Chain A
Amino acid sequence: MVGIVLVSHGNMAEGMIDAARMIVGEMEGVLAVSLQEMDAIEDLMGRIDAGLSEVDTGDGALILVDAFGASPFNASARLAMQREKTEVITGMNLPMLLELAVQREGQDLEAVTQIAFEAGSTSIRTLSQIMKKN
């Protein structure tokens, strides 16, 4: 199964796992890594790398980061570009993680990335849009 590492500013990544657990229960092969204000990028890269090694059982890993261009993304991208079967997706949100939790078994990295992308982007709605449709 493709491994998942969540990387964020502060405790968002751990909070995502905590929130997802309330909906889908314990998740296998999912880890959180946090950027703290005193961290060097190289330290953060080391922790992400250790997380990847832990969750990647041979099928590769997908890294979910909070924001494009920010340090969690920069560190993840630098690692992913030097590593086999590793993808990075930005703008992580709870629906993205939930879909990954229930749908990724038996899928390859490309398919898993697509699941995350679709779930993450299509889950953003406004109440007015939904009301107009009904």
Chain B
Amino acid sequence: MPVVHIRMDNRLIHGQILVSWNSAFKISHIIVTNNVVASDPLQVTLLKAVAPLTAKVSVLTIKDCVNYCNSPEAENETIFIIAKYPEDGLALVEGGLKMPMLNLGNQAFVRGSKKISNTVFLTESGVKALKKLHQDGIRITCRMMPNDPDTDYWPTIEKTLPEWAK
């Protein structure tokens, strides 16, 4: 299984990824995937510049990310995917990427979002995307660090934001 983890994190590649997740998984390839980020040359340059010594960094559109991960090229890699929003996670799965689990990392406040915890704020469309993943049998987790438990996070979302989760 080349893709070892999918994390939805607004901060993309940052300290928690470079230090904690990188040492837990021995990542060989970090793929940042979001259509807006992939078309911003400044962000692409910076994301590649912060690559750890032991991994390469790609910044791809959702479609290119799915195609790459399902290609023979990816087979011998240990791929860690960072999507920006829950909607990106859903798009990956709907595009044909098979994963039993999707992890919520930092989801900062954006206009119209509501708080679940200090690090997770979700919009209505984000909750709907996660609901769809949950209904497809994919476990949604919320782990900032690799040693956080991988308990099912959907019940927490459903309980905190019932108006959007129903």
Contact = CB atoms under 8 A, between A and B. Distances in A.
A74 B14 contact: yes
Interface of B is mostly: loop
Interface residues of B, number: 21
A70 B14 contact: yes
A74 B49 CA distance: 10
B119 A38 contact: yes
Interface in A2-43: 9, 37-41, 43
B43 A73 contact: no
A77 interface: yes
Contacts of A133: none
Interface residues of A, number: 18
A82 B43 CA distance: 11
Interface string A66-91: 01111101100110011000000000
Contacts of A38: 108-109, 118-119, 121
Interface of B: 10-15, 18, 42-43, 45-46, 49-50, 52, 106, 108-110, 118-119, 121
25 contacts: A9-B15, A37-B118, A38-B108, A38-B109, A38-B118, A38-B121, A39-B108, A40-B108, A40-B109, A40-B110, A69-B14, A69-B15, A69-B50, A69-B52, A70-B14, A70-B18, A71-B11, A71-B14, A74-B12, A74-B13, A74-B14, A74-B50, A77-B46, A78-B46, A82-B42
